[in-house]
Amino acid sequence: MADQLTKVFAALADPTRRDIVARLSIADATVNELAEPYEVSVQAVSKHLKVLEDSGLVTRTRDAQRRPVHLEDNVFDLMTKWIERYQRQAEERYQRLDAVLDEMNADEDSEEESSKGA
């Protein structure tokens, strides 16, 4: 079985699902409300929501006759930590590269100074 991070990124690979997540970041909504702007059936939006639900990005609750869909922001913490880890590693590599380039430039400068003095 795929880990949650894989499911989240797979769920967000679809532009319609990303749009649904963006809309749910503003406010909870029902399936019908979420389906309004799309030229697809409510059933198609329900399928998108099922993928988002399976990934842990959204949950459905019951509020009397309404069944609002809620965005689970804790999943974004998981994604953020994963991204930040690789961002830190990339930044460390760039810092090491900068240090090597600075050292190479300093060596070239000192060689030029030596050749001018000779």
Q: What tens digit of pLDDT does each residue of 69-81 get?
A: 999 988 888 888 8
Task: Output the pLDDT for position 74.
Answer: 86
> Rounded to 10 degrees, what is the CA torsion of 14, 18, 13, 47?
-50
CATH of domain 4-71: 1.10.10.10
Q: How confident is the model at residue 112 (pLDDT cuts 50, 70, 90)?
A: confident
Kindly report each contact of residues 21-26 with a partner whose C-beta sits within 8 Å and lies 24 or more positions away, as own/partner: 21/52, 21/57, 21/58, 21/71, 24/58, 24/69, 24/70, 24/71, 25/71
Say how far apart CA 6 and CA 110 lie, in whole Å.
51
63, pLDDT greater than 80? no
102, pLDDT greater than 70? yes
pTM above 0.75, yes or no: no
Task: Output the pLDDT for position 1.
Answer: 45
46, pLDDT greater than 50? yes
Domain boundaries, the chain: 4-71, 73-117
